[in-house]
Amino acid sequence: MRPFFPWRLFWKFFFKQFVVIVGLCSALLGFVFYYFAIDWSAADLRLPSLVFLVLTILVSGYVAYSLAAPLRTVIVQALRIADKKRTDGLIDHEEVLHEEEGEYYEIERALTTIKRKLRKRRDQLAHEREESKALMLALEDAVVSVGTDGRLKFFTAQFAAQFMHKEQFSSTRSGAIGSGAATVLLADVFRSPELLSLIFDCMNTGQSLKKRIYLKTLGEAADRYFSVTVSPLKEQRSFAIYGALALFHDITDLKRAEQIRIEFVENASHELRTPLTSIKGFVETMKEDVAAQNWDQIPSFLNTVSKSVNRLTELVNDMLSLSSLETNSPIRKESIDLFRLTHDVVDSLSALAKEKDIILQVQVDNPELCADEKKIEQVLQNLIGNSIKYIAQSGKIEIHWQDTGDGIDLSVNDNGPGIGPEHLERLFERFYRVDKGRSREEGGTGLGLAIVKHIVQSHGGQVKVVSVLGRGACFICNFPKQL
């Protein structure tokens, strides 16, 4: 590699000196000739002129070199700081690493310090950039920054995926984390006046703002609920606001869970209050009857109180089952003899079935299932129990275990009253009942199917219902072969 040398400077120094020396010497010689009245035409000046010229060239060359050589290091350093690529062809790296102190010592030292600081800052910036990139990718929330003109300055991949149409996304210059998004207006991405005013309010007031807003997201019919936090972006020195950064935290599921919890508490209180009111009323009446020595109605009242207590017990038991299922406690895996288990459950319910003249038919094509026996027993109890409950009089219930290839299916099929199509979607919700009165009359808690759904799902399976009103209902639980 050709080592770098500031030849241009060297030639500049050289010619200037040459001209100055030649000029000065010629003027001096002219003056001497003139002063001493020497006839210069008589003298032979060829040899002295030649010697003078050679000497001038040598002196000029030497002086120019001694001035340009130390500048070489300074220029090399400056070039390296200014533009590394430009110096690559010119500088021998060995030479750069060997930084000796030259005549321009102070400048060189200053440049070296600047260079070290710049290198440190550059490394720091690269680290910061990497870290913020990793942070943005790890962040599940969508982030966008907007300029005061309402144009996007930067957005994360999550933001693009949730809110930006493909054309908007591709019209920006950069990829997943868009830092060249200046062509897209915030108002083109969001139609929500609430969100737009939140962001512009933040830019106008310079205050961080937070609000819960429903926003439309791509590919979803219903709006999602977001907690949006907007912070102003300020210039470091002048503190002038040049934009705002918004973070979108999706709280739809949280809100839904909150709603379900509220509804559950409302429903549970209502369900508990009914038998409690009945117990309270009858106990008060009995107290009065006992005081009046009136025993006639007491046995019937006690019977009603006992029924209400049983109902309360069932409700509490079902609620406890549900809550233990919802804590996602690990399920026990054991090999279950389906034939024995199904017949045990059928036997325990046969008296009830007999009362209503209901035939129970069991078919077990797949004799084994690896699952939690107690929970599968509860599924069978609830499904067969429901069929018996809702068949008014005489009917048939078929319980069938089979291997479908995809998994093991349990179907409980009855020819009872069936369920209208408008109820099917919500049937597995807690406390959802088609006919509240009938369910209560039959001692139903409204939690049986919710428990079935939770048990099947905790085994990695799915449950569905097929029913035609007036023709019966069929509940199908699909369990995976391997848990």
Q: Please answer whether residues 66 and 9 qualify as being in contact, where contact means their C-beta atoms are separated by less than 8 angstroms.
A: no
161 near ligand ADP, judged by CB under 6 A = no
Pairing, β 358-364 against β 395-403: parallel
For 331, the 3-state DSSP assignment is coil
Residue whose CB is less far from ligand ADP, 74 or 450: 450
Min dist CB 439 to ligand ADP, Å, is 3
**In angstroms, how far is CA 6 from the centroid of its own chain?**
56
Min dist CB 481 to ligand ADP, Å, is 27
What is the rounded CA–CA span in Å between residue 52 and residue 33? 17
Q: Return the DSSP state at 101.
A: -
Min dist CB 311 to ligand ADP, Å, is 11
Q: Which two tokens stand for residue 165?
A: 């149409």
Which of the stretches 81-89, 103-111, 226-234, 381-389 binds ligand ADP when contact is defined by CB under 6 A?
381-389
454 near ligand ADP, judged by CB under 6 A = no
Provide the mask over 323-362, with x wherever binding to ligand ADP is found by CB under 6 A and - wherever it is not: ----------------------------------------
Q: Return the DSSP state at 181.
A: -
What is the rounded CA–CA span in Å between residue 211 and residue 195? 9
Q: Which two tokens stand for residue 312?
A: 């309360």
HEC string for 379-400? HHHHHHHHHHHHCCCCEEEEEE
Residue whose CB is less far from ligand ADP, 142 or 379: 379
Which of the stretches 12-20, 73-81, 163-171, 383-391 binds ligand ADP when contact is defined by CB under 6 A?
383-391
Which of the stretches 63-71, 327-335, 354-362, 426-434 binds ligand ADP when contact is defined by CB under 6 A?
426-434
Min dist CB 354 to ligand ADP, Å, is 18
271 near ligand ADP, judged by CB under 6 A = no
Alpha carbon separation from 440 to 383, 403, 444 (Å, rounded): 17, 36, 5
* Beta pairing partners, 155: 144, 178
Which of the stretches 125-133, 175-183, 187-195, 429-437 binds ligand ADP when contact is defined by CB under 6 A?
429-437
**In angstroms, how far is CA 262 from the centroid of its own chain?**
27
Q: Please answer whether residues 209 and 194 qualify as being in contact, where contact means their C-beta atoms are separated by less than 8 angstroms.
A: no
* Beta pairing partners, 400: 363, 411
* Beta pairing partners, 467: 473
List 445, 453, 455, 463, residue binding ligand ADP (CB under 6 A)? 445
Q: Please answer whether residues 334 and 368 qualify as being in contact, where contact means their C-beta atoms are separated by less than 8 angstroms.
A: no
What is the rounded CA–CA span in Å between residue 276 and residue 252? 36
Residue whose CB is less far from ligand ADP, 73 or 411: 411
427 near ligand ADP, judged by CB under 6 A = yes
Residue whose CB is less far from ligand ADP, 169 or 428: 428
Residue whose CB is less far from ligand ADP, 64 or 383: 383
275 near ligand ADP, judged by CB under 6 A = no
Alpha carbon separation from 266 to 196, 259, 271 (Å, rounded): 37, 11, 9
Residue whose CB is less far from ligand ADP, 4 or 428: 428
435 near ligand ADP, judged by CB under 6 A = yes
Min dist CB 255 to ligand ADP, Å, is 25
What is the rounded CA–CA span in Å between residue 303 and residue 101? 108
| Count of positions on this chain that bind ligand ADP (CB under 6 A) | 23
List 178, 275, 395, 446, residue binding ligand ADP (CB under 6 A)? 446
Min dist CB 273 to ligand ADP, Å, is 17
What is the rounded CA–CA span in Å between residue 251 and residue 242? 29
Closest among 28, 30, 31 to 20, alpha carbons compared: 28
Q: Please answer whether residues 476 and 406 qualify as being in contact, where contact means their C-beta atoms are separated by less than 8 angstroms.
A: no
439 near ligand ADP, judged by CB under 6 A = yes
List 153, 417, 476, 479, residue binding ligand ADP (CB under 6 A)? 417
75 near ligand ADP, judged by CB under 6 A = no
Residue whose CB is less far from ligand ADP, 88 or 441: 441
List 6, 232, 243, 416, residue binding ligand ADP (CB under 6 A)? 416
Residue whose CB is less far from ligand ADP, 450 or 456: 450
Residue whose CB is less far from ligand ADP, 384 or 408: 384
Radius of gyration of the chain (CA): 46
Q: Which of residues 385-414 bind ligand ADP (CB under 6 A)?
A: 386-387, 389-390, 414
476 near ligand ADP, judged by CB under 6 A = no
Which contacts of 419-422 are long-range, i.e. CB under 8 A and separated by 24 or more positions?
419/465, 419/467, 419/469, 419/473, 420/469, 421/467, 421/469
Q: Please answer whether residues 459 and 480 qualify as being in contact, where contact means their C-beta atoms are separated by less than 8 angstroms.
A: yes
**How does DSSP assign 29-73, residue by residue?**
HHHHHHHTT--TTTS--HHHHHHHHHHHHHHHHHHHHHHHHHHHH
Closest among 247, 267, 252 to 436, alpha carbons compared: 267
162 near ligand ADP, judged by CB under 6 A = no
Residue whose CB is less far from ligand ADP, 168 or 382: 382
Which of the stretches 75-83, 113-121, 277-285, 432-440 binds ligand ADP when contact is defined by CB under 6 A?
432-440
List of residues contacting ligand ADP (CB under 6 A): 382, 386-387, 389-390, 414, 416-417, 419, 427, 432-435, 439, 444-450, 473
